[in-house]
């Protein structure tokens, strides 16, 4: 559903990305990890269509729904207003939402379990609630590919768990193709089928989670020693830095 070929992007005369290649099929989930400033958001902007690459190409075969990082509304929109904005592509120029559009918005607010917030001011919500509302907005657009920029940024563990379990459910029950950036390898383990590790503008690793998301690769990615930590039961594991004094 997404194919990136020899992608190159420059900003202010500086090369941000060079020679990136990746593919993502239907119902696959891609987690993107990398240090701050490596170009993760720039890559997402190219996938969404907010930025045209300077070289190479991005091909998409599906409608995109975009969830930005901790969105703040400019005006005092209600939660329902925010979700209705996702219906814009289905409305004619200057047209107002119809009954069917309200029904779609309510349906996805219910799916995200935030329908009780429909009349609340969006900016009055917690960070976790806002993320769920923005996911509802993307779903209301009837997207086939959802792209999220650090959906768990600045969220506490409870709200991170809500967002991650929601992405799992959307992929499992609706077959949604998902791309998201994160600083937490555990999120990739929990949700993703594939991972992209962005080391710098031209060095990267891309492939199935089991092959790419390793302690060795993460240590190289973040330039700190990282070890695999096994849980006591269930065969599950995570990754953690092992700082040396």
Candidates 58, 44, 51; CA nearest to 178 is 44
Cα–Cα distance measured from residue 218 to residue 213, given in angstroms and rounded to the nearest whole number: 7
Residue 8 has a pLDDT of 97
Nearest Cα to Cα of residue 167 among 70, 65, 86: 65
Same domain (yes/no): 27, 42: yes
Instruction: Tell which wins on pLDDT, 71 or 166.
Output: 166
Q: What is the pLDDT of residues 155-179, one digit of tens each?
A: 889 888 888 999 999 999 999 999 9
20 and 106 inside one domain: no
Per-residue pLDDT tens digits for 215-230: 999 999 999 999 998 8
**Which domain does 164 fall in, by range?**
1-62+144-245
Structure confidence at residue 13 (pLDDT): 86
Residues 112, 223, single domain; the answer is: no
Evaluated on CA atoms 38, 42, 46, 47, the torsion sign reads positive
Nearest to 69 by CA among 101, 102, 36: 36
Within 8 A by CB and 6+ apart from 44, the residues are: 32, 147, 149, 179, 181
Number of structural domains found in the chain: 2
Within-domain flag for 67: no
Looking at 143, 160, 191, the residue that finishes a domain is 143
For residues 227 and 118, state if they share a domain. Answer: no
Q: Is the same domain home to 57 and 160?
A: yes
- For residue 245, pLDDT over 70 is answered with no
Q: Structure tokens of 171?
A: 């992929």
């Amino acid at each position: 559903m997404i194919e990136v070929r020899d992608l190159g992007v420059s900003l202010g005369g500086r090369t941000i990305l060079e020679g990136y290649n990746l593919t993502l099929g239907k119902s696959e989930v891609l987690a993107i990890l990398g240090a701050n400033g490596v170009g993760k958001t720039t890559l997402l902007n190219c996938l969404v269509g907010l930025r045209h690459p300077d070289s190479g190409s991005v091909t998409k075969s599906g409608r995109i729904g975009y969830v930005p990082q901790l969105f703040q509304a400019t005006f005092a929109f209600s939660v329902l207003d925010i979700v209705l904005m996702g219906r814009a592509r289905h409305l004619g120029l200057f047209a107002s939402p119809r009954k069917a559009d309200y029904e779609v918005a309510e349906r996805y607010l219910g799916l995200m379990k935030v329908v009780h917030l429909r009349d609340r001011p969006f900016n009055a919500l917690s960070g976790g609630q806002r993320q769920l509302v923005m996911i509802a907005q993307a779903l209301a657009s009837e997207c086939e590919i959802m792209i999220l920029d650090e959906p768990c940024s600045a969220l506490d563990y409870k709200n991170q768990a809500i967002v991650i379990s929601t992405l799992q459910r959307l992929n499992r029950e609706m077959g949604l193709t998902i791309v998201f950036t994160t600083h937490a390898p555990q999120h990739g383990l929990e949700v993703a089928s594939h991972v992209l590790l962005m080391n710098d503008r031209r060095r990267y690793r891309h492939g199935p989670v089991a092959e790419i998301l390793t302690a060795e690769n993460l240590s190289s990615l973040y330039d700190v020693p990282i070890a695999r930590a096994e849980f006591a039961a269930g065969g599950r594991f995570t990754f953690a830095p092992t700082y040396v004094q």
